[in-house]
Structures are given as structure tokens and as C-alpha cells.
Amino acid sequence: AQTVTQSQPEMSVQEAETVTLSCTYDTSESDYYLFWYKQPPSRQMILVIRQEAYKQQNATENRFSVNFQKAAKSFSLKISDSQLGDAAMYFCASSKIQGAQKLVFGQGTRLTINP
């Protein structure tokens, strides 16, 4: 079974600053995917970044990057140069590589951007 834990219910950051959202997970799979999804107030979930567990290199997507620590089962998201449009709920998720690839989500972190 897979579990995902986000221990920060809320975070806030000043516009243009950097913020890091934490996530830990547990899985018995040897290969798996990890994701960060963003859910703005309109409620549609959007993929922010994806990491394959077999890759050692941390994924990056423009201002978004992850710190993947496989041994520690930690997967944090760093948002650089925060923008007002980054305000949303952020969910960490994992899935198996084979089979259904259903997503297991954490509880979410609400990110507020202060102008």
C-alpha cells in the first residue's frame, strides 16, 4: 500500500520569494511515480511536476523544482519567485508504475501568496 503525508496544512510566502512545501511518502513498490498537483479555487487539478523514482536527478519545471530524497522517502516542492497565481491547494501524490496508476494523495497544503 502507498501512503502520502503532507504535514503543513497552510503555508504563506511573500510575492517573489521562495517557498518549500513538504511531503513524505511510504510505499512497498520499488518503482513508482511522485507528483505535485495544484488545485486553484476553481477546483480543477493541474499537474505541476512529476518525478520518476528510478531517476536520481531532481525534476524541474520553470520556477518549480523538487528535492527527491528516496532513502528518506521525502519529496518536497520548491517554488521560486512566487507569483500571485501560485496561490492554491497543493497536493503531493504517488502512483505505481505498472497497472492502474491510480493516484494516492496527501492531505494538501494551502499556499497563500502575500503581495
Partner 1 sequence: DTGVSQDPRHKITKRGQNVTFRCDPISEHNRLYWYRQTLGQGPEFLTYFQNEAQLEKSRLLSDRFSAERPKGSFSTLEIQRTEQGDSAMYLCASSLARGAIVNTEAFFGQGTRLTVV
Instruction: Report the interface residues with partner 1, using CB under 8 A.
Output: 4, 6, 33, 37, 42-47, 50, 91, 93, 95, 100-108
Task: Report the Cα 67 to chain-centroid distance in Å.
Answer: 10
Tell me whether residue 77 or residue 108 sits nearer to partner 1 (CB atom).
108
Quick one: 106 or 111, whose CB is closer to partner 1? 106
State in angstroms the smallest separation of the CB of 3 from partner 1. 11
Which positions ≥6 away from 67 have C-beta within 8 Å?
A: 20, 58, 74, 75, 76, 78
Rg over alpha carbons for the chain, rounded to the nearest Å, is: 14
CB of 93 to partner 1, least distance (A): 8
CB neighbour list of residue 4: distance below 8 Å, 6 or more residues apart: 23, 24, 25, 92, 93, 94, 104, 105, 106
Indicate the residue among 14 and 107 with the shorter CB distance to partner 1.
107
CB of 38 to partner 1, least distance (A): 11
